[in-house]
Every structure is written in C-alpha cells, then in structure tokens.
Chain A
C-alpha cells in the first residue's frame, strides 16, 4: 500500500509539473482581452471562452479530489507512514487547488485593469465639528478643576484597587528571601537522582556527577549541584575556602548565574600545557567558570562567579555539605547581594 500511495504522490507531482510546463507555452492573456482605457471606470471587458484552460482547471480540480481521497485512504491503510504520505496527499491536493484557482483567475475570467479614485481621507470641517461636539459638555460646568481632580482620584483609586488582585498571582511578602533560598546546611547529605547517598569515590577524576540535597525538592534552583574532581595540585582556592575541596572534590551550584540554565559541560584538558584549564561551561550562552579558583568567571556573559558549596567527607566516605552555598544561586535581580 505504501508503494501505491507513494506512486500516487509522484504521479500527482509529475502532473503538476507537466501542467506548469504546458501552460507556459500558451499565448499571453493580453491578446485575449483588449487593453482597457486609462481612465473612466470601464465596464467589464469582453472575454472569449478558453475551452482548453477550462479543461485544465477541471482536471486540476479532479486531481485535488483524488488526492483528498488519497489522504483518507492512506490513514486507513497505512497508519505507520501516515505523516509523510498524508502530508504529501494533502499538500499536493492544496497545490492542485492553488494551481486551479490561479489558472482560473488568469484564463477563465476577464483580465481587467481598473482605476479607482483614492477617497479623501481628511475632512477639515468635520474635524472641527467633532472636536466641538466632544468639548461641548465642558461649557456648562463651572467647577471644572474640582471635577477633574475628583475624577482623577476616583480613576486612580479604582485602578489601584484592580491591581490588588494581581498580587495573588504569586508570593509578594518575602520575594527576596524566596529568590535567595538555598536548601544546603552544614551536614546535609549529597544524594544522586535515584536518592542514594553520594560516595566520594563515585566522583571520577576529570568527570562530574549531579547531586541534590537530601530531603529537598530537586527542581528548586538552589538544589542541583555539579560535583567534580580535579587533581589536588591544581587547586587555587582563596584562603577562606581552604578545606572546601577534600581530595580535590568540589561542588558548585548547577544553575548558571547568568540566565539560569543547567551547567552540563565540564571541560577537563588531558594535556594541560597546550589547553585552557578545567572549567564548567553553560550550554545556553557559554559562560565559562574556572573551577580551580572556586568558580571565577573566565568567559561569557555571566558576571557573578558560580556559587560553591563547601564539602566534607563523612565517616562512611559519603559527601556532605560543610555549610550553605557561597552566594545566592541562579540568575541575578535588582538588589541581590553579591
């Protein structure tokens, strides 16, 4: 069936092409209808019937009907390939209808060129009268300013009152706290997506894993982490972050500080002398953060460093947070503390 329908489609395409070629050889329509006069809106010009064009239009309409039927047949008989074949049937059906309409417009009806006067848009006298009409009520009023002030006050009050329901769209009171929210506390265990505690040994050198705080919503912007391991001698952490990266394992907020995308690229050069250093890269706008220095931005539009999470390894060899994130996670807003 699929083959049949495909053949049907090809046949239709060939027919349309053939039609287009045949038609190009026909004489110009200008020879059929006499050129109308330049001015004076003319009566519809004489039009001689064109039996050949009528035949073509009828043929195209018939073809369209066939293709429309094919659209139904394809869906009933071959639903697996339905999208392509149905698209072909319906698309070519519409193409045949389009060809029929254009052909009818160019060959079956009189070719007419008409001239129309543009209407005068402006009515200078009317403008004055309309303005007078609108201003008319003002004349009978003595305390115009008082009324204006009262109407303004009422309008402002009603407008203000109508804005209040908008506040129920979302939280209003503690927006700043909400945006800064960070589920990490000292001692929070790192878990993976399946909910298992993340062991330090599970973080490969030069690779990264994603981690989440135990007992928190993984979708919250403060939750996801990239946990990665670099060689200890590569670390260039500032002194106040000494001890944040046991065994060279580091954790950063996974949400980019530029526009909030998840950071899914970790560049870890295998031959350091000719390559740029290990860095996290956001795939949305390619902000690049140097992990050795604790998430300093080295390229791209992000302006804030990536927040780092101090890490500890507990007695079972599992990773735990040593405190909250070093800065608010996610994109910035007006008034956020760096």
Chain B
C-alpha cells in the first residue's frame, strides 16, 4: 500500500530523493524551538475555524431588525454582520464554539509569534545567514496584527466600531496624505460607504491570510535550507546539526504538539467566554462604552495613544501632525523599524560578519540582551499604560496620576532595564553559575591566638584579587572574562 503510493509519486513527480531527505531531516531539541511551531499550528486552526465561520457570516452592512437569537436585542435595528455573528453564536451548530476558538486562536497566535521573536532576538538566531528569514518573520508579525484587527472589526459591534473609528483617526493623521488615505479606504468620511465592509472582509478572509500563508512557506524553506540553529554543546558544531529525524519520532511528537495546541484552544473556546458581542450591542458613531479594551496585541498602540501629551503642531492655524500620528503611526513604525534594522545595527556594533549556526546564551551577550531588555521595557511601559483604566478600577489609583507616572517611566524604565540586565548578565557570565550559589568569599579559620587565617592555603591570594575558586566548583570556565 505505502510502497505503491511511493512508487506512484516517484514515477510522476520524481519525489523519492526529496521525500527521503525530508523524512531524515534533523530537528534539534529545545523547548524554545517549539514556540514557532505553536504559532504555525494556531494559523492552521485559524484557517479551519475561520472557514467554518465564513460559511455563515454575512459581511453586508444592510440594516435589519434583530429577532430571535438573543431576546434583549429583539426589535433593535442592527446590521447583517452583527445579526449573523449573533446567529452563529446561538443558532449554528457548534457556532459559538468555533467563533470563540477562532478568537482564542488569534490571541494565542500572536502570543506565540511574540515569544518566538524574543527567542530569536535574545539567542542571536537572526544573525547571518538568517537575517532574511528574520525579516520575513517580522513581516508576518505585522500582518498578523493587521489581520487580528480586521477580524475583530468585522462583526460591527460596539467595541469593534470604537476600534474602527480610532483606526480611521490614525489613518487621517498621516502627514500630507492622511485625508486621502482615510477617505479612500473608508469610501468617504467615517463611518464610510457600504463598500468599506466588503473591503474589510476580503482583506480579512483572503488578502492577509494568503500573504501570511505564502510567507510561512518562505519562512519554512529558509529555515530548512541552512538547517536549524542549536545551542552549543558537545556534538553540536557550526558544521553539523544534531537532533531527532523527522520520521518517525519527531513527526509524532510535533503532531502531538499540534493536537495539544488544538486541544487547549478548543477547551478555551468551549469553556472561557470571549468577545460576547451580543452584550456590547451594535455600533453607532454616537455610542461608546467605558472601560473598552482592544485584544491584547493592540495594547501597546492604545497605550501609546493614551500616553501621548496633547501635542498637535500647527502653522498659521493649520494643523500639521494630528495627535494620533505620534502614538498610532510614528510609534509602531519606530518599533518595527528598529526590529527590522537590528541585525544590521548589531553587525555594525560588533563588526561580526561571520556565519552563525550556533545560538548564544542570552547572558553571554550582555550588551545585546540589555539593549533588548531596554527596548522591551520601553514597549512594556506603554503597553501597561494602555491598561491604566483597568488598574484604576482594580486598585483605585487615580488615572491622571498613573498617566504622569507612565510618561516618566517611558524614559527611566529602559535605562534601568539596560543597566540591571547588563549587570546581571555580566555577573552570570563571569560566575558561570547560579547567582544564589555563586560565592566570592574566602574561607578563614580562627587561630589559637584569636586571629583569623586563610584556611587550607599556605599562600593567601593577593589582596583585592577576585577569588574565582569556589567550594565544590570546578575550574573557572575558559574564555569567561
């Protein structure tokens, strides 16, 4: 049976050598290498659940009178998008399960991509020859953010409408061409023409998923060509990769990871409510709600919009840069610009043009790790500022005071994070041991006369010289300076 299938394929596609190499492809083992796989599996689950939802969702903005699905909405005029979303939730078999699994999968997708990016950055996996693939990955992150935003904007509920009007204001704030961009995308002034909803829908269900899917293919090819990176250890060199072959061991384990990802997402989708649009109600430009929060992955952008001081430069009474430009355009461009440029910046800083297949331990590169921590601290402060209203509700800390605190923290947290991380990394690298077990003291023994003398050493070390030998520890690691 299998023999016949292989013969069939080989006779028609000449696939045997490729199949054999693929089945023997070696995967190094480390838990952090699974983050990207989880992102990939989330994408598959998103496509599967999204396809099911698309069988029932109606992207039309035509107004209908709600009835039947959810009693409190009965008699209210709502759009077909909103009505079909509520119908999917309450009338379609497994509709709510699929909708919530889809939403959870989107949230976990972006968590996995972000953690994967951290892994790549802090272990130096972006270095030559993988800079190109690093940029493909960053592009997928940007597209995934857009895709998530487009997805939760589709149902035309109150929260999504608030997100859309903010997106419209950000588009409007682009220098020089903002008015044209916003009115062209929306087909007029917000809330825009009927066609806007067709555009949003096709972007969410076709354009962005196809782009992401194509980039995933490129990403995988660019991973497989030079083989995987790995941490340095005996038997793992720049020339060779050591690990589990795809077939059968790794395929079964990775298939297990896919099924486990799907299990967690379906359990979340079945048991933990997410985005109950029937509670928010339909959107109108004249409605909003307090305590509105976007999906987590847009927290850094809402934080930037909230944190920005009220600056709107103008000349002779004509506005130049509307305020949302700074938080909604400049800030994300800066974040992504720095991330895209990093491999080249680091190459310039370290003058390291060599090919690297072995990964760094973060603590062995204190400067990179510290710069990464500073950058992360900068974005994290702004992200946290986005939840200042929730902090006020939970702890009663006045909102306005928090904003002033965060505005200052944007400047000092990166500095503190840099200094602290660099110190910790250097200390760890030098000790080559756990910080709590690392001990730099000297053993002394009390003499009969009442004084102290170094124990067991006839020649005490010179004053001021660091004592590198520790009780129970081997010789200091060569090369640790």
Contacts and interface: CB of A to CB of B under 8 A. Distances in A.
- Please determine whether chains A and B interact with each other in the same assembly: yes
B245 interface: yes
A282 B227 CA distance: 52
A86 B270 contact: yes
Nearest to A300: B310
Contacts of B190: 221, 260, 330
A121 B129 contact: yes
A114 B287 contact: no
Contact of A224 (B243, B250, B259, B285): B285
Contact of B241 (A79, A100, A116, A283): A116
Interface string A143-163: 000000000000000000000
Contacts of A38: 235
A218 B286 CA distance: 8
A332 interface: yes
A260 B169 contact: yes
B32 interface: no
Interface stretch (B173-181, B421-429, B442-450): B173-181
A91 interface: yes
Contacts of A119: 225-227
Contacts of A254: 286
Interface string B246-276: 0011111101111110111011011100000
Contact of A262 (B129, B169, B288): B288
B466 interface: no
B67 to A, nearest CB: 19
A285 interface: yes
Contacts of A6: none
Contact of A286 (B173, B322, B399): B399
A95 B266 CA distance: 10
B267 A170 contact: no
Contacts of A218: 284-286
A289 to B, nearest CB: 11
B242 interface: yes
Contact of A338 (B168, B226, B249, B319): B319
B290 interface: yes
Contacts of B260: 94-95, 98, 102
A41 B242 CA distance: 10
Contact of A94 (B188, B263, B290): B263
B25, B238, B288, B357 interface centre (most CB from chain A within 10 Å): B288
A86 B129 contact: no
Contact of A118 (B94, B100, B227, B235): B227
Interface stretch (B118-126, B301-309, B455-463): B301-309
Contact of A91 (B168, B263, B289, B317): B263
Interface string A91-108: 111110111111011100
B78 interface: no
A83 interface: yes
A141 interface: no
A255 interface: yes
Contacts of A66: none
B226 A116 contact: no
A261 B308 contact: no
A259 interface: yes
A75 B286 contact: no
A333 B263 contact: no
A333 B186 CA distance: 15
Interface string A278-302: 0000111111000000000101111
B189 interface: yes
B320 interface: yes
Contacts of A282: 288
Contact of B306 (A109, A167, A286): A286
Contacts of B291: 283
Contact of B270 (A41, A84, A117): A84
Interface in A157-202: 166-167, 169-172, 175-176, 178-179, 181
A283 B292 contact: yes
A106 B256 CA distance: 11
A176 B179 CA distance: 8
Contacts of B30: none
B393 interface: no
B202 interface: no
B75 to A, nearest CB: 13
Contact of A260 (B168, B175, B252, B264): B168
Nearest to A282: B288
B37 to A, nearest CB: 13
A115 interface: yes
A235 interface: no
B262, B271, B284, B310 interface centre (most CB from chain A within 10 Å): B310
Interface of B: 24-26, 93-94, 96-97, 100-101, 129, 162, 165-166, 168-170, 172-180, 182-191, 193, 195, 225-227, 235, 238-245, 248-253, 255-260, 262-264, 266-267, 269-271, 284-292, 302, 305-312, 314, 317-324, 327-328, 355, 357, 389, 399-400, 403
Given A113-B243, A262-B288, 17 more contacts: A39-B240, A92-B263, A102-B256, A109-B249, A110-B249, A115-B240, A121-B129, A210-B286, A221-B285, A259-B169, A262-B286, A285-B305, A301-B305, A303-B311, A332-B172, A332-B322, A334-B179
State the 7 A-B residue pairs at the shortest beta-carbon distance, nearest first.
A87-B270, A105-B252, A303-B312, A91-B267, A98-B259, A224-B286, A101-B256
5 contacts: A114-B242, A116-B24, A170-B193, A333-B178, A334-B319
